[in-house]
Amino acid sequence: MKDSDAIIVKAFLAALAQLSEPLPAHLQEELQTLSKTQKFTDLVLFARKHEPLKLAYQQANTQFTEQGNQYRKGLDILPDAYFEKASRDNSEIINVASDSSELNTLPKVLAKINERWPGQPDIQSVKQIFKSPNSVESAKTFLLYPEIPNF
């Protein structure tokens, strides 16, 4: 798994864990279908389909990218090509006053993910979370109870 894929997976899991409500049924089914592939860039496109998930993903992705850049002493944050392309195509003004009160747990979630996976994420655990009937609750359980083996 490439470093960029690891960031996508970790950021997506962090975004799921921050949601206060389950994904709509049609999106949960689509996520279960995505779990069968290893096209991690599809997770970025998927996150854009649900506004609370999109906001949480963008913030988590930014944090993980910053951490990676500090670790490697690389360049400043590189733009996410998918969101950069979307912003050029979209003439709608983004609501900068969006309610992001759900996102107040981001530092805790990021710490738990880094504690659980200091390097690459475990793909089997990620697939199990995505396949579950309620991925939001599964992500929270996975992060809160690391002692559960073979999650």
**Closest residue by Cα to residue 32 from 125, 129, 121:** 129
Q: Alpha helices of 19-149 — where are they, by DSSP H? A: 25-34, 41-47, 51-72, 81-89, 106-116, 123-131, 135-144
CA–CA dist 4, 79 (Å, integer): 12
- For tokens 């003439």, the residue is 91
DSSP summary character for residue 146: T
pLDDT one-digit tens code per residue, 16-73: 988 889 999 999 999 998 888 878 888 888 999 999 989 989 988 888 887 665 555 5
Asked whether the beta carbons of 53 and 47 are under 8 A apart, the reply is yes
**Closest residue by Cα to residue 117 from 1, 6, 5, 2:** 6
CA–CA dist 131, 136 (Å, integer): 11
pLDDT one-digit tens code per residue, 73-111: 544 555 555 555 555 555 555 444 434 444 457 777 888
The domain locations on the chain are 3-144
More confident residue, 40 or 148: 40
